[in-house]
Structure 1
Amino acid sequence: MLAPGIQPDAGFDMENALLIGLSRQMAMSREMATIANNIANMNTTAYKSEAMLFEEFLAKDASEDSPDSTIRFVQDVGQHRNLRDGALQTTGNPFDVAITGEGFFRVETGQGVLYTRNGNFQLDADGQLVTSNGDPILTDAGTPITFARDEIGITIARDGTISSDRGLRGKLAIVTFENQQEMRKAGNSLLSTAQEEVPAENIRLVQGALEGSNVNPILEMTNMIEVTRSYASAQKLIDQADQMRRKAIQDLGAAA
């Protein structure tokens, strides 16, 4: 979502025009950072694109000449995460697992239990199923999953049930939350939240595949161009207000 174009009314003074222009530029700078982050993660497994949320912020006008005694700024109030599934990418690796539908894997970390949709798993030196960062993946019983060195035929069913030539080995915990927008990034594709876990329903796990990023690079590039143009428009407003102020100072100096 792009910052709205807010133009000053005729009654606005030069200082207000500068403030409005600067507020737009500050909001658009943060929006550009969000777009750049989306583009940088267009190939990151299970990455969800984000967009800035804006609203109009009213403040008391510093000038008595304003028609309604208020000026309207642009204020960014947060980010919205696009929760749409990314495209499935077949890898053939039996330890790669993709989630289709809502839900997150539970991961045991040094910061406590965190959550991820990045199913790029592997076995560590002890035969434990871990993330690419070495954090153990948890079962629905809250325990890590460990395989013997000679264990073969490891399969992960669509409901997360894990089995091998030695029989049933456990079931991956797949959970979700009432408000996924409140989840916060914790690094390494992990998310944190203080919300209560809710068992995910109607999910399907796909072994030997990964969920791709849901970033639309063409849309992000289009947004980047629009933000760049809006930023230039705001800069023009600031320059015009600055020129008016300089001219006013010169006229006052000449009249003195």
Structure 2
Amino acid sequence: MENTTYIALSRIDVLTRALDVSANNLANVNTDGFKASKELFSDYLVHQKGANTLPGDKDQAFTEDKSTYRDHLQGPMHTTGNLTDFAINGEGYFAVRTTQGIRLTRNGQFHRRMDGTIVDGTGNPILDNNGRNLVLQQESDLLSAASDGTLSTQTGPIGIIGLLTVDNPNTLVAEGAFLLRPTTQTHQVARPEIRQGMLEASNVNAVSETTRMVEIQRAYDLTFQLIQTESTRHLNAIDKITAEASS
């Protein structure tokens, strides 16, 4: 196999990864609080050794899939009117208690459990700024939220929604569509800003993501055609050499 094919295969590997990432973004275009993923690729040169190396062919460029990262740009807000829906304007994440520990999320679609605990869609309790569960004592409680996250009912305040953040959001590890596992120290947001009755939509741009998928697919097809052309050329060369040797 010649170097042309090796280089093309490295490109195929990268394009396959890019297609998977883009497809996952599109699948979550309607997931509240979802943050789009981006790929981080790089080209690197390999120095060719040997006395028969032609001028200009000393280095060959390969493509490497380095990693993926999340675009933490805030998504648009939309009104729901539900008293237990909250959107974060600015930095920070809601903290929820899961069976695996504390997780962060931008998805503020919560509801009241039978025992009064405010939980997310999978039943994880949302935490206050002291790490405790937020609980509505009575089913008839009329919940209101101040912009700083202070929750109150007609009987008075019940707690403050805890908003946590980390120094580098790219250290957060995704778990599912909207939960993030912190791998570094978290701390409270200094100036939290919360909107009640609203949710933050996904920051995926469906039109640009679809266009990008088409571009990736075209690049994949062209690269694959190159591999097939090289394979055909090799086979023809082998057939010709075999024919000449036997004549």
Q: 1:53 to 1:25 in 2, by over 3 A?
A: same
Cα offset, 1:95, TM superposition: 0.2
Cα offset, 1:243, TM superposition: 1.7
Distance 1:159 1:178 in 2: 21
Structure 2, unmatched stretches of 5+, are none
Contact kept in structure 2, 1:133 and 1:188, CA below 8 Å? no
Q: 1:199 to 1:90 in 2, by over 3 A?
A: same
Cα offset, 1:69, TM superposition: 3.8
Distance 1:249 1:221 in 2: 42
Which of 80-89 and 59-68 deviates more? 59-68
Give 1:7's aligned residue: none
Which of 50-59 and 164-173 deviates more? 50-59
Structure 1 residue 97 and structure 2 residue 86: aligned?
yes
Letter in 2 for 1:101: G
Which of these residues, 111, 127, 140, is aligned with residue 100 of structure 2? Answer: 111
SS of residue in 2 equivalent to 1:224: helix
Letter in 2 for 1:31: A
Which of these residues, 211, 221, 228, is aligned with residue 232 of structure 1? Answer: 221
Contact kept in structure 2, 1:53 and 1:79, CA below 8 Å? yes
Q: Superposition pairs for residues 54-203 of structure 1, below 5 Å? A: 54-61=41-48, 64-65=52-53, 67-203=56-192
Contact kept in structure 1, 2:28 and 2:177, CA below 8 Å? no
Which of these residues, 234, 238, 241, is aligned with residue 252 of structure 1? Answer: 241
Distance 1:136 1:188 in 2: 17
Give 1:15's aligned residue: 2
Question: What is the CA RMSD across the aligned residues, in angstroms?
Answer: 1.6
Cα offset, 1:101, TM superposition: 0.7
Give 1:223's aligned residue: 212
Instruction: Give the number of equivalent residue pairs.
Output: 243
Letter in 1 for 2:19: M
SS of residue in 2 equivalent to 1:26: helix
Give 2:23's aligned residue: 36
Letter in 1 for 2:149: G
Percent pairwise identity: 35
Tell me the TM-score normalized by structure 1.
Answer: 0.90
Give 1:24's aligned residue: 11
Letter in 2 for 1:214: N
